[in-house]
Structure 1
Amino acid sequence: MKNSTLTRRTFTTAALCGAAVLGVPIVRAQAKLEKTKIALAVGGKGAFYYLPLTISEQLGYFRNEGLDVEISDFAGGARSLQALVGGSADVVAGAYEHTINMQSKNQFIQSIVLMGRAPQIAFGVSPKAVPNYKGVADLRGKKIGVTAPGSSTNMVANLVLSRAGIKANDVSYVGVGTSAGALTALRSGQIDAMSNVDPVMTMLEQKGDVKIISDTRTLKGTHEVFGGPMPAACLYTHAEFVQKNPNTCQALANAIVHGLKWLQTAGPSDIIKTVPESYLLGDRALYLASFNKVREAIALDGMLPEEGAKTALRALASFEPSVKADKIELSKTYTNEFGRRAKEKFKA
C-alpha cells in the first residue's frame, strides 16, 4: 500500500514537472480557488440572452464548483460594465463587444467563456408611432428604446441606422430595460422603435406592436446583419483578474459550460420549471415561443470563434469612431483556455 502511494506521488510529481518544462498550464483536479465569493453584474438577467447564467445559478452549478456567486441585476449591459470598472463587480455577464470597446479606451477586459453565439437582438418599429414607415431613413429624429444607452442593443441599433446614413445623434436613445417596462414604453408611445431581446420582442411581435426590421435571433439573421458569426453574451472581467485568479475563472467557466450542456437537451417544460416565474412576464406560451426562436443562438461549448471576434471588431469599427480596427489586439479580448477545459470536462 505504501509503495503504491509513493508510486502515485512520484508519477504526479513527474507529470507536473513535465508540464512545467513544456510550458503547459497546470490544471489540478481539485485546484484551490483564489477567490470563492464572486460579485457578478448582469444587465437584464431575465432575458434569454443570459439564460445560461440563470440555468447555472438555479441548478447549483456555481456551488458545485465551490463558488458563492452574488448576482446584481442592472437595467442594461452598460450599467453592469460600469460596476466592473467602478470595482463593485468582479465579473460581468455581458456582451463580448464591450471587451473591444474598452480596449479602445486603454482598459483591458477579457471574455473567459461564451454563452451566446448570436446577439438575439431584434430591432422593431411601432406601426402605431410610425404608421407610414417605408425604410430605416424614416427613423431619423425618432425615439429609439434600448435596454440601456451604450448596451449591445444600442450597438445593433447604431449599426442598422448607420447603414441608412443615420448617425447616433440623429435619434434619441431611451433606456427601457428588458422586461415589463420595455413593453409599456413601446405600447404607450414613449418610444417609436425598439432594439431589444427576447422574450420582450417576440411578445410585441406576436401582438402586432412592432414590425421587425432587423433580426439577430437566429444564426442566419445574424450573418445577414453582421456578415459573419457574431459572439454575444459571455463572462468577462479585467485581464488582471484573469491572471491572478485562473482557478476561479476556470470554476466560473465550468459552471457556465455545465449549464450550456444541460440546455442542449432541455425541453420547454424543463426551462419553465427552472427559471423564476417573473421571467415569463405573465405569458407562459409566449415565453416558450420566444425560447424556440432563440434556441440556436445559445452557445454550445463556451468557445469563442476567432472569426466571430473579427466580425465584432469589423461591426464596431464601422460606426464607432473611437474603435480603430488596426489598433485593437483581438487576442487580448478573449481566452478560450477555460472554455476548452470545461468543454473537455463536460463533453459539451
Structure 2
Amino acid sequence: MQRRTFLAGTAALAGATFAAAPLAFAQGKPETSKVAIAVGGKNLFYYLPLTIAERRNYFKDEGLDVEISDFAGGSQALKAAVGGSADVVSGAFEHTLLLQAQKQSFREFVLQGRAPQIVLAVSKKAMPNYKSIADLKGKKIGVTAPGSSTSIMASFVLAKAGLTAKDVSFIGVGAGAGAIAALQSGQIDAIANLDPVMTKLERTGEIRVVSDTRTLADTRSVFGGDMPAGCLYASQSFITKNPNTTQALTNAMVRALKWLQTATGSELINTVPEGYLLGDRAVYLDAWQHVKEAMSPDGLMPADGPATSLKTLQAFDANVQGKPIDLSKTWTNDFVKKALATVKA
C-alpha cells in the first residue's frame, strides 16, 4: 500500500476539523484515566522511552491506565488513531505533517528521539556488487510497513540520488525477527530498519550499510539538520479535551527519558521484555550504544526539527508538495516544559 493511498483512506476515516485550539494547562487529575496508545514496532529502540514508562510504572504513577497496542509499522499505528481505536500514537513526527496535508490536525507533545535511528543497508548476498544508491533501482527494499518512517527515510535517500519510490518495491517486513528472516531468505534485496535489528545483521556480516541516522552527526549529514523522530502525538481535539491527561502522559515520558540518561546496561536489560533482545543480550547492549545519543534527553522538540522534517517530505512526497503546512500546529513544547519543572527521574 502506497502512502498516498493510505492517507486518502485516513482522510475518509476521520474528517478532523483543522482549527488549532489553544493549549490549556489545568492542575488536577486526568480527565480520563484510560488511554489507548498505538505504536508500530514497540521492541525497537525508537520507542524505548514508551516501554520504560510502561515497565517502570510511570504511567500508573500519574494515575493512568495505559493500554499499548503494537502494530507492524507506524503507518498502521496512525491508522488506529485516525480510526478512533487509539487515543495517542507513539510514532514518527513526520506523520503529523502528512496528516495536516490531508486537513487533519494532530500535534506532537513530547519527543522520544532526536535522531531517526533508521539504517538503510543492502544485502551482501543479494547485491554483492553494490556501488551506489542508483543500484537499488528495481530492487525490493524491506521496511517496517509501507508509509512508515522507515520507508520515508528510504524514499528521501532515493530522491537525493534521483530515484523515486516507484523505482523500487517497498515490502513490509515488520520490526523484529521477521525482518531479519526476510533479508536472510532473500525475500528482499535491501532493508531500512532500526536497532536492534540492524546491529544484529551487522554483527553477522550480512549487510552493507549505505545510509545511517543513528547519531546526530549522521542524521544532520543525511537530512541537513536536526530530524525529530519518535514522539507521542494525538489529535488536537484529544489534547484540547484532555489537557491533564496529556500532561500526565508527558510527565511519565519525561521521567522515562531522564532514567535512560543514566541507566546502566544491566538495568536496561532487566527492564525490557526478554523478547526485545532477539536472543542475544550482547547484541542488544551493542545496539544500545549505537543509538543512545539519538534519545531525547528532555523531550523537547529542537527548534529546527519541524522544518527539517517538512523539507524531507517535500523532497519526494506529492501529498505534501505544494500544500500549505503550518508547522506551529503540529507540535508543542508546552507540556514538556511543565514536566521538566516538576518531574524528577
Q: Same-fold call, TM > 0.5? A: yes
The aligned counterpart of 2:332 is: 335
1:227 matched to 2:224? The reply is: yes
Runs of 4+ in 1 over 6 A off after TM superposition: none
Identity %: 58
Provide the C-alpha distance between the structure 1 equivalents of 2:253 and 2:25, rounded to a whole number of angstroms.
21
Amino acid of the structure 1 residue aligned with 2:80 = A
Alignment of 1:191-340 (within 5 A): 191-324=188-321, 327-340=324-337
1:81 corresponds to 2:83: no
Q: 2:175 — aligned with what?
A: 178
Deviation track 1:262-304 (CA, whole Å, cap 9, x = no partner) reads 1110011110000000000001000000000000000011111
Alpha-carbon distance in 1 for matches of 2:216, 2:292: 10
Counterpart CA distance in 2 for 1:125 and 1:270 is 33
Letter in 2 for 1:202: T
- Which structure 2 segments of 5+ residues have no match? 1-21
Structure richer in helix, relative to its length: 1
Mapping of residues 137-148 of structure 1, within 5 Å: 137-148=134-145
Amino acid at match of 1:274: T
Q: 1:104–1:324: 8 Å Cα contact kept in structure 2?
A: no
Task: Tell me by how many angstroms 1:94 deviates.
Answer: 0.1
* Aligned equivalent of 1:4: none
Q: Aligned partner of 2:249: which letter?
A: L
Determine the structure 2 residue equivalent to 1:114: 111
Aligned-pair CA distance for 1:343 = 1.3
1:104 aligns with 2:101: yes
Partners of 2:161 and 2:116 in 1: CA distance: 21
Tell me how far 1:25 sits from its aligned partner: 4.8
CA deviation vs aligned residue, 1:44-97 (integer Å, no higher than 9, x gap): 000000000000000000000000000000000000000001110000000000
For 1:61, which of 28, 38, 58 is the aligned residue? Answer: 58
CA displacement at 1:322 relative to structure 2 = 1.7
* Distance change >3 Å, CA 67–CA 325, structure 1 → 2: farther
| Residue aligned with 2:315, SS | helix
Matching residue of 2:130:
133
Q: 1:341 corresponds to which letter in structure 2?
A: K
Deviation for aligned residue 1:27: 3.9
Distance in 1, matches of 2:287 and 2:23, equals 43
Change (3 A) 1:198 1:263: same
The alpha-carbon deviation at position 326 of structure 1 amounts to: 6.3
- SS for the counterpart of 2:147 is coil
Q: Which residue of 1 aligns with 2:8?
A: none
Tell me, in whole angstroms, the C-alpha distance in 2 between the residues paired with 1:343 and 1:317: 33
Distance 2:276 2:23 in 1: 43
Q: TM-score, normalised to structure 2's length?
A: 0.92
CA deviations on 1:30-50 (whole Å, 9 max, x unpaired) are x12111101110000000000
The one-letter code sitting in structure 2 at the alignment partner of 1:146 is V
- Which of residues 26, 29, 32 is equivalent to 1:32? 29
CA offsets, 1:105-158, max 9 Å, x none?
Answer: 111101011000000000000010011111000000000000000000000000
- d(CA) in 1 for partners of 2:282, 2:338: 37
| 8 Å CA contact retained: 1:314, 1:325 | no
Q: Are 2:114 and 2:295, in contact at CA under 8 Å, matched by a contact in 1?
A: yes
Aligned to 1:10: none
Give the Å deviation of 1:346: 2.3
**TM-score w.r.t. length of structure 1:** 0.91
1:296 maps to amino acid: E
SS at match of 1:120: coil
How far, CA to CA, are the matches of 2:23 and 2:93 in structure 1? 26
Shift of 1:177: 0.5
